[in-house]
Every structure is written in C-alpha cells, then in structure tokens.
Amino acid sequence: MQNDVISFLLKRRSVVAKKMLPQEPTASDLENIIACGLRVPDHSNVQPWRLVIVQGEARAQFDQQIILPAAIAANKADKKDELSEMQLELESNRMQRSGLVIAVLHTPVVPHKIPLWEQQLSAGAVCTNLLIAAQSLDYAAQWITEWLAYDASVISALGGDPDRDKVAGFIHIGQKKQQPDERKRPVAGDKISFWGLQH
C-alpha cells in the first residue's frame, strides 16, 4: 500500500548546495522543519544535540569570520602552499551557497547509561528528519559535513566543545533551480536477508 509519506520517501532526492538558489525557507516552514528535526527517536530522552541556525547576513559573517580563517590556519598547519584564489573564493562562500544552514551539533552526555553510539545515532536521526522535512516542503536540501565539521575552531564557533561535541551535519536549505536527476540506489536484494528463512 502507498500513502503520501511512502510516495515522497520513494522519490526524494538531495540537491547539492552549490546548485541551490540561496533563498531562505519561510519562517513557518522553518518552524515545522525544526520541530520535525527535534522529534526523533532518542533513547532515555538524553537529547544529545543542539541546532545552530546560520541565516541571512550571519552566513557571510560565518564565512568571513570563522570558515575562511580556519581554512587558512589549517592550510598553514599542514605546511601547504597558500590557498589559491579559487580556494579562497570557495572558503569565503560555504554558508552562502544556500539560503539557510542548520548546523546539527552532537552534544553527548558522557558518562551515561545510554551508550555514546546510541546518542550519536540520535544526532544522525535529527539530520535525517531535518533533511526529509525540508525536502517534503519542496525545498532543495542537502546534508553535508565537509572539512568544517571536523575543525575545532568551527565547532567552538557553533558553541560546542571540540573535545566532546561533533558536528553531525550541516543541513543546507534553499530553492531548487531544477528537479535533480535520480542517482544510483542500492539494490534491496544485495542489502537484506531474512534470517532463518529459506528463499
């Protein structure tokens, strides 16, 4: 049997951030997207996640004040040649590719009776729900990490503790220029088995 949710899930596709029109979702759509993002399975209600929204002018500020200096510092630390014009341009615009970015910080509670792994899975579920909610409203959306997710200064700038917290993802949301093409999908038969049954 199919219903609207199944039909949508069977067709949904991400649109890469660089191919989006950088328009924000409406305030009421954003409210719903966030509510869906927070409504995830979460063993023992630990809530090991925080959302940081980067929108409007804050996107350019985050690019200029946080990402670009972090990219230059990481490059220096790696003793590489200076960043090229093209790389500088890329690092100056990461947050501005889309209309709005929701950074999902995984903020685990440790030690805790709920294993860290389960808390991490719940943070992934937040990203999935945000993505799916945005796509269901026909926005262009993508879940990305890139190098930024692993940079201590970026985690700090988002209010996280780099020694404990992780960026589960940056959910970019914008408008579609065109419908995305389908991509290769796994073949169910290669991924599933029925334990104990002969097929």
- Footprint of ligand FMN (CB under 6 A): 13-14, 16, 142-146, 169, 183
Q: How far is the CB of 146 from ligand FMN (least distance, A)?
A: 4
Beta strands in the chain (DSSP E): 49-55, 100-106, 140-144, 166-174
Query: How many angstroms separate the CA atoms of 117 and 104, rounded?
Result: 16
Q: Report the phi/psi class of residue 47: left, alpha or beta, with left for phi > 0 and alpha for psi in -120 to 50.
A: left
> % helix / strand / coil in the chain, to the nearest 5?
45, 15, 40
Q: How far is the CB of 195 from ligand FMN (least distance, A)?
A: 27
Give the nearer residue to ligand FMN in terms of CB position, either 144 or 158. Answer: 144
Give the nearer residue to ligand FMN in terms of CB position, either 11 or 44. Answer: 11
**Residue number closest to ligand FMN, CB atom:** 14
Give the nearer residue to ligand FMN in terms of CB position, either 26 or 150. Answer: 150
Q: How far is the CB of 120 from ligand FMN (least distance, A)?
A: 11
Q: How far is the CB of 198 from ligand FMN (least distance, A)?
A: 33
User: Rounded to the nearest 5°, which phi and psi values hold at 170?
Assistant: -110, 120
